[in-house]
Amino acid sequence: MSFDFQEGEILLFDKPYKWTSFDVVNKARVFLKYYCHNPKLKVGHAGTLDPLATGLVIVCTGKKTKEIDLIQTSEKEYEAVFDLSVIRPSFDKETEVTQSFDISNITEQQILAAAQSFLGEQEQLPPLFSAIKINGVRAYMHARNKNTEIEKEIQPRKIEIKTMEMLSFNSPFVKFRIVCSKGTYIRALARDFGKRVGCGAALDELRRTAVGDYRVEDALNIETFRETILNAEEK
């Protein structure tokens, strides 16, 4: 196995829980610039992933960084677990529960019907806890400063849900395989799903399994990546 990081490589990483996408890119960048003896080596990622999510992050080097925009437009695949019994301000575990629900009367048939109703093109309102810029400041910074009035300035975005397949239902948790367009917020989908079913909903777990044709099964963690590069050099 050989690598040419200056000419360009597309690297697949399996991001750990609570790492940011920048953590992955930065660790790869520091290692590659040292390994290649090139402090100017271009290294960038093709799309962020929330710290509380795991899964596929794509890093491009050298001339392959020109393909980042194209990769980012690819459809995404996720495995997501929704907790139907709670509401959280961030729609995930970043914030505490503000409201709880008894969902003993919600059936699997209702969940399947609701999931089916989300298929297709639609408008989605991004969460306030997001990286969208409002007045030059990331929305999540406004949210953490309790400036929720700024939420009125967030505009809906056109998205498409191509697949929303229920994998399991163990009340109050329902697990889906979701295939969607660029720009889809799975946390916002959880919020809207809860409203449609008639309860709360927050994202309990999220794993990105694919970006276009790239799959997490082919990804490495940072340490394995380093070992792979060093072993390739020795051979």
pLDDT of amino acid 228: 83
Asked whether residue 22 falls in the same domain as residue 135, the answer is: no
Q: If you average pLDDT over every residue of the chain, what do you get?
A: 91
Between strands 54-61 and 86-87, the pairing is: unpaired
| Catalytic-residue membership of 50 | yes
Asked whether residue 81 falls in the same domain as residue 156, the answer is: yes
154 confidence band (pLDDT: 50, 70, 90): confident
Residue 1 inside a domain? The answer is no
Question: What angle do the packed helices 108-117 and 186-197 form, to 10 degrees?
Answer: 130
Asked whether residue 205 falls in the same domain as residue 219, the answer is: no
Asked whether residue 40 falls in the same domain as residue 94, the answer is: no
Q: Which of 155, 79, 88, 165 is nearest to 123 (CA)?
A: 155
Residue 5 inside a domain? The answer is no
Residue 146 inside a domain? The answer is yes
Asked whether residue 106 falls in the same domain as residue 148, the answer is: yes
Which one of the listed residues 14, 50, 92, 204 is annotated catalytic?
A: 50
Residue 31 belongs to what domain range? 10-73+214-234
How many domains, the chain? Answer: 2
pLDDT digits (tens, 9 = 90+) for 44-66: 999 889 999 999 999 999 999 99
Q: Which of 234, 192, 226 is nearest to 34 (CA)?
A: 226
Asked whether residue 119 falls in the same domain as residue 207, the answer is: yes
Residue 233 above 70 pLDDT? no
CATH code of residue 20: 3.30.2350.10
Residue 130 inside a domain? The answer is yes
What one-letter code names the amino acid at 96?
E
Asked whether residue 230 falls in the same domain as residue 158, the answer is: no
Does a cis peptide bond (omega within 30 degrees of 0) precede residue 156?
no
- Proportion of the chain above pLDDT 90, given as a percent: 76
Asked whether residue 86 falls in the same domain as residue 126, the answer is: yes
pLDDT of amino acid 27: 94
pTM for this predicted structure: 0.90
pLDDT of amino acid 76: 98
Between strands 76-83 and 202-211, the pairing is: antiparallel
Asked whether residue 88 falls in the same domain as residue 176, the answer is: yes
